[in-house]
Amino acid sequence: MAIIKTKGLIIRENPYNDTDKMLTILTENLGKVSVSARNSRKGGSRSSYGTQVLTYGEYVLFRGKDFYFLNGCDVITNFYDLSSDIETFTYAAHMIDMAEDACIDSSSAEQVLILLLHGLNALRKKRNPLLISSIFALKLTHIIGYPPYVSSCVSCNTREMEEISFSFDKCGFVCEKCAKGDSQSIKIGNGVAKAILYVLCTDSGGVYNFNLSEENLKIFSKITLKYIEQRMEKQYKKLEFLNEL
């Protein structure tokens, strides 16, 4: 039976039978895969090693009919420390939800994995989690091929925009004139416009390297969440939990 080695991050674990777990691993070269980890629910057993959510490691798998089987692993790092803070952990869970939806094929999965690992590292360094998850959301839309249009006004094509707005209807920047007839558009100002441009023009390694004022972050996060929800045609509810705390 063919053995496959791949690096990956465990993004889900579910109990399966009495002693097994079914893992969802976001891998470097197989896309998002389901992996059965036999005997991994026996506490302290050798087979439970490396099978927890937020473990990043090199996994040795063999392919079954419907899913893969875990044959062994080397843990590279884990992000368990994120779970010690409920707010940070909720943002990490929100990012994982979006990441799962963005893995439409194996080439997008590899890019999503790299972006997610950099994002989790940024959370670990105590960067603002709302900013990190918002940057992640926007960059995901780029990875899946639906970035907002930001080169000029998406309606009239002018590059001379005194006041930039973001149009959800047109999926990009609009000038002050075109924004008038677009009730769903939001004025964003230069700070947020620059942040959006920066995220779209920067690769995953550097994409999180900026900060925003509180006011600009409010607008940036609102836009990026609504924009990815439109592209994915779903609503992400995890962050609502934070309002109940």
| Widest distance between CA atoms in the chain | 65
User: What residues between 67 and 126 interact with Zn ion by CB under 5 A?
Assistant: none
- CA atoms of 103 and 130, how far apart (whole Å): 22
- 155 near Zn ion, judged by CB under 5 A: yes
Q: Which of 116, 120, 130, 175 is the binder for Zn ion (CB under 5 A)?
A: 175
Q: Quick one: 11 or 175, whose CB is closer to Zn ion?
A: 175
Q: Which of 25, 178, 217, 239 is the binder for Zn ion (CB under 5 A)?
A: 178
- 153 near Zn ion, judged by CB under 5 A: yes
- CA atoms of 37 and 223, how far apart (whole Å): 39
- 181 near Zn ion, judged by CB under 5 A: no
Query: Least Å distance between CB 145 and Zn ion?
Result: 24
- Centroid of chain to Cα 161: 31
> Applying CB under 5 A, which part among 69-77, 114-122, 150-158, 192-200 lies near Zn ion?
150-158
> Applying CB under 5 A, which part among 76-84, 89-97, 121-129, 145-153 lies near Zn ion?
145-153
Cα–Cα distances in angstroms (integers) from residue 133 to residues 53, 71, 80, 141, 177, in the given order: 18, 33, 18, 13, 32
- CA atoms of 237 and 130, how far apart (whole Å): 14
- CA atoms of 54 and 82, how far apart (whole Å): 9
- 24 near Zn ion, judged by CB under 5 A: no
Listed in sequence order, the residues at least 6 apart from 12 whose beta carbon sits closer than 8 Å to its beta carbon are 23, 24, 53, 96
> Applying CB under 5 A, which part among 28-36, 112-120, 170-178, 212-220 lies near Zn ion?
170-178
User: What residues between 120 and 139 interact with Zn ion by CB under 5 A?
Assistant: none
Residues that bind Zn ion in the complex, under the rule CB under 5 A: 153, 155-156, 175, 178
